[in-house]
Amino acid sequence: MATIFDTPPLEIQKNLNNLKEDLDAKIPAKKLDKNLLIASWNIRAFGNLTRKWVSEDDDSPKRDLQSILSITEIISRFDVIAIQEVKSNLRALRDTLKLLGNNWSMILTDVSKGSSGNGERMAYLFDTRRVQLSGLASELVVPNEWTDGIDDNALDEQFVRTPYAVSFKSNLQTFILVTLHIKYGKSSKDRIKELKGIATWLADWASNTNAYHQNLITLGDFNIDERGDLLDQTFLSEGLFVPPQLQNEEVTRSIFNETKYYDQIAWFMNSKNIPNLTMDFITGGNYDFVPTALAKRNITKQSLSYLISDHYPLWAEFEL
């Protein structure tokens, strides 16, 4: 059985080199004490893997070692990345962390129980040379008193997958990331309650002058269908702000549908319409791994979604 530290076949090494060159061209470089690269990525069913370089038709799961090399190379380009759909089985995540090396660490939740929770965890991976934990880790729960203002039956069972907040520091900056994965449900209406709940919770936290810190950034899979639809309006209704660079129609979220607006990175604006951050946003985007990943593998996008993901990573660069 192959292991993640074995030397890959030559063809896979060539594919990985192509991926590295593509990332070099499209993702900003890390600059010591100058910038901060934050990302969010829903990695489809990120759990078990088949320890072969190339999985076969009868293998389950389909994710193989070649896929882990690609996922790891993408993750390595960021300072901290929130990952959704981490499953109870941590084999793929642990191999990824091994490849990233001793300078990387992770913090994650336990598994969300129940069928609607889909056996998922929320996780952060971070480069300890550039980012460290700064003390806060919490799961968000909406007070019962707030539910009347949202909907008569809103959030009776709380969030399906509880949002996860962790504080980090980089150079002299401290920031709180809140990641979540809104339930998809049978229709878009099923998502409105959760979106309203998280937006209300975040707005209250951001407005509290005694809060842990004002650099509050939310990121994750909000399952928003389209820009400007009711879900999008609900998400933004409490003052959350998505920078124009991440609203560009070219910054797609799904490898299958260019109109989907699932994933977000957002923060609040103050009364003067200035970002409520002590870090300046520089730029952001997605990373389209599909052309490079499909170039040497005779597979469909559907198959690729189980090897890597059906979502693109979404990222934002800040000046420290």
Q: Is residue 41 part of a domain?
A: yes
Q: Which residues of 116-143 are buried (b: 16+ CB within 10 A; e: fewer)?
A: ebbbbbbbbbbbeebbeebeeeeebebe
Model confidence, pTM = 0.92
Note down the domain range covering 223. Answer: 10-319
pLDDT of residue 238: 87
Q: Is residue 33 part of a domain?
A: yes
pLDDT of residue 65: 97
Structural domain total, the chain: 1
Q: What is the DSSP letter of 237?
A: T
What is the average pLDDT value for the chain, to the nearest integer? 88
Comparing 54-58, 143-147, 218-222, 223-227, the range with the smallest average pLDDT is 143-147
Residue 79 has pLDDT above 50, yes or no: yes
Q: Is residue 260 part of a domain?
A: yes
DSSP bridge partners of 104: 127
Q: Is residue 5 part of a domain?
A: no
**CA dist 45 → 73, 206, 242, 259, 290 (Å):** 18, 32, 27, 22, 18
* Closest C-alpha among 42, 217, 38 to residue 121: 42
Token pair for 110 = 């336990």
**CA dist 5 → 20, 63, 124, 312 (Å):** 18, 16, 23, 26
d(CA 204, CA 181): 20
pLDDT of residue 160: 62
Treating both helix axes as pointing N-terminal to C-terminal, what angle do 65-75 and 10-26 enclose, rounded to 10 degrees?
20
Residue 240 has pLDDT above 60, yes or no: yes
- Per-residue pLDDT of 156-166, as tens digits, reads 545 667 889 99
| Confidence at 143, pLDDT banded by 50, 70, 90 | low
Token pair for 108 = 């994650």
Q: Is residue 3 part of a domain?
A: no
Q: Is residue 213 part of a domain?
A: yes
Q: Is residue 178 part of a domain?
A: yes
149 or 297: which leads in pLDDT:
297
pLDDT of residue 112: 63
Report CA torsion sign: 242, 190, 228, 143. negative
78 or 119: which leads in pLDDT:
78
Residue 31 has pLDDT above 90, yes or no: yes
Mean pLDDT value of segment 135-141: 82
Mean pLDDT value of segment 86-95: 96
Token pair for 44 = 């489809």
pLDDT of residue 164: 93
| Confidence at 155, pLDDT banded by 50, 70, 90 | very low
Tell me the CATH number at 70: 3.60.10.10
